[in-house]
Amino acid sequence: MKTRLKDIAQATGFSINTISHALRDEPDIAEDTKHYIREVAKKLDYIPNIPAGSIKSGKSRILSVILPDIGNPHFTIMFREIERYFSDIGMTPFFMNTRERAIDEINAVRLSIGQNVDGVILCPTQTETESIRLLEKSTIPFILIGRRFDEPINTDYVICDDTEGARIATEHLLSLGHRKICCVRVNEHISSDRERFNGYCQALSEAGIGVEDDLILHLTLTEEENRDAIRSFFASRPDCSAVLAFNDILAYSIIREAIAVGRRVPEDLSVMGFDNICSDYPLPIGLSSVSVSKKNIARIASELLYSRITGKEQNPEKQHIIVPTRLFLRETTAPPVADRQ
């Protein structure tokens, strides 16, 4: 059975209070006493009952990290970094998936609040704002990561420079000679989707090229199959020679379908991703991609959250942090074959 402070008190003859203080290394207990108590506690395999402590102290030393899909390496890498940061300071982040569903997000937020977490890192689905309202009402510090809301919602956030990332990626495709460039979009509620699309439009417009509606390919972020949408896009726009994908997972989906229908990458189709997950996974085809410093974003968000939790961040102004992006060119982008039909 679980050992309680009471058991240690009985075993040592000290009061529960003394045990509690000794195990938390407070200065008001004699060193000898502390040593003795710690020894007995260890022998009895004492493990502090955190919920019991937290209802009084209000501190649980746990955090929740609410992300759309841990199956996406983009979020996996961020979570690992967050975990590393907080476990070093004795706090435990735990993770929940929203699967890009509003209801799952609200549940995750409610559960986090209900668990008395010390802080929340959230990548919102952006199809509702109830979760933000609940967090604000709870007074639990929270940071948005990867996505941001427009006015009037004002929160701390850490994102990457989506607009600029998409702009330089599109610019690069243009500089290779591509003119019919597909842009993959996923969900117009999501800020990164809108901003990447804006970057794409900017680059085209700077090159004097108009945005064609049917070069916009709408795919889904979640587990549903994108194959049919991709294939019918290929069929409808055979003249398209390059794709800017919303993320690397979708880029690889496109590469797979392209190969399946007999198009070579990059000879027949250049594909540009967004995320640079190749830097962390041994993928057999190196994907040209926009690198978004996932670890930086995660670390900055962790630091900011921690400073909010400890109250060190006195600045009541919400922090809006935009991490720069850069281009990584690998094997999936090349000039278009000039004499294609």
What is the contact surface with its own copies in residues (CB under 8 A)?
A: 1-2, 45, 47-52, 54-55, 60, 62, 64, 70-71, 73, 76-77, 79-80, 83, 87, 92, 94-97, 104, 107, 110-111, 113-116, 134, 137-139, 249, 252-253, 255-256, 259, 280-285
Does residue 30 bind DNA (CB under 7 A)?
yes
Q: Which long-range contacts (CB under 8 A, 24 or more apart) does 89-95 make?
A: 89/306, 90/61, 91/61, 91/62, 91/63, 91/118, 91/306, 92/61, 92/62, 92/63, 93/62, 93/63, 93/64, 93/65, 93/121, 94/62, 94/63, 94/64, 94/65, 95/64, 95/65, 95/66, 95/67, 95/70
* Residue 125 interaction partner, one of its own copies, DNA, none, beta carbon < 5-8 Å per kind: none
Interatomic CA distance for residues 128 and 97, integer angstroms:
16
Task: Return the DSSP state at 277.
Answer: G
59 vs 340 by CB, closer to its own copies:
59
Does residue 21 bind DNA (CB under 7 A)?
yes
Contact 118, 140 (CB under 8 A): yes
Among 10, 39, 43, 49, binds DNA (CB under 7 A): 49
Among 10, 43, 55, 281, binds DNA (CB under 7 A): 55
* Residue 70 interaction partner, one of DNA, its own copies, none, beta carbon < 5-8 Å per kind: its own copies
3 vs 107 by CB, closer to DNA:
3
* Residue 280 interaction partner, one of DNA, its own copies, none, beta carbon < 5-8 Å per kind: its own copies
Question: Closest distance between DNA and the C-beta of residue 204, in Å?
Answer: 54
For residues 168, 171, 173, 174, the Cα torsion angle rounded to the nearest 10 degrees is 180
